[in-house]
Amino acid sequence: MSTLAGKTAIVLGASGENNFGTAIARRFAAEGANVVVSARRQAPLEALAAEIGGSAVCCDVTREADIEALFSAARDAHGGVDIAVFSAGIHGPGLIAELSAESIRPALEVSFIGALLFFKHAAAVMGEGGSVITVSSLTARLPGPGLAVYSSARAGIDHAMKVAVWEYEDRRIRFNSIAAGLINTDMTAPLFDMEGVVEKHLEATPAGRMGTLDDMAEAALFLADEARSGFVNGQVLDLAGGQQMGRLPRF
């Protein structure tokens, strides 16, 4: 029997050609889950849903009504939600000396406020038990210049995730996070074209290789599957090949 057979999973942030949400959605579907993919762009969502035999629901995470409607649609179609993955994010780099309130807000709206409301509405449609997973970043563990907004938003929701564990303990809903190192995605692809970036990261990574989308999908599957990780709760899983023990490369 497939690992997630009979389970319903929402994966938010799954409209890219090569991104974490898309890879996770494909892996969950391969394991037998009913997968509802979501993001702001309808066309790529519909294509992915058709590919994996799932369904698509548009959602702008800066609008709470959209998040609520996403979970309501999944509940109405499948009777409930067992797994919810938040993989949306905005990079928003910038030195602190160059920041303004206007440049800070977009990342917070998506990566912190949107994720926190995602927790709220995920738990509202889950029964006894369930797994909520956020995709975080190595940069929330290791500070680096220009990352104050992006990494702080990720670090903030990593802490809120631990609060959620206690608030929903009576429902046995698990909350965990995956702190990913640099992996080649739609968002990070330009970095892989820059001279020295991969080499410097490899020097700082004890595993001796870069992470992959498959690594992320397997980590999410581990946290989604009660049989694999039912006793794992309130954890930030480092997916960085050991780089989290050192520092970010300087360029």
**Which of 243, 124, 115 has the alpha carbon at shortest distance from 181?**
243
C-alpha 98 chain-centroid distance? 28
In terms of C-beta density within 10 A (0-12 exposed, 13-18 middle, 19 or more buried), how is residue 111 classed?
Answer: buried
pLDDT range class, residue 91, cuts 50, 70, 90: confident
Q: Does residue 1 carry a pLDDT above 60?
A: no
How many Å apart are CA 168 and CA 123, to the nearest integer?
8
> Does the pLDDT of residue 113 top 90, yes or no?
yes
CA atoms within 13 A on the CB side of 50: 6
pTM of the model: 0.94
Mean pLDDT for all residues in the chain? 93
Q: Identify whether the C-beta of residue 81 lies closer than 8 Å to the C-beta of residue 126.
A: yes
**What domains appear along the chain, each with residue ranges and CATH number?**
8-185+212-239 (3.40.50.720)
More confident residue, 16 or 115: 115
Which residues are tagged catalytic? Answer: 150
Backbone dihedral region for residue 56 (phi beyond 0: left; psi -120 to 50: alpha; all else: beta): beta
3-class SS letters over 61-130: CCCHHHHHHHHHHHHHHHCCCCEEEECCCCCCCCCHHHCCHHHHHHHHHHHHHHHHHHHHHHHHHCCCCE
What would the pLDDT profile of 162-218 be if each residue is shown by its tens digit?
A: 999 999 999 999 999 999 998 888 787 777 888 888 888 888 888 889 889 999 999
Reported as a single tens digit per residue, the pLDDT across 135-165 is 999 999 898 899 999 999 999 999 999 999 9
Structure tokens at 100: 């303004």
Average pLDDT over residues 22-27: 97
Burial class from Cβ neighbours inside 10 Å (0-12, 13-18, 19+) for residue 240 reads buried
Residue 184 pLDDT: 81
pLDDT at 251: 64
Q: Is 179 helix (H, G, I), strand (E, B) or coil?
A: strand
Nearest-5° Cα angle at 57, 168 to 80: 40
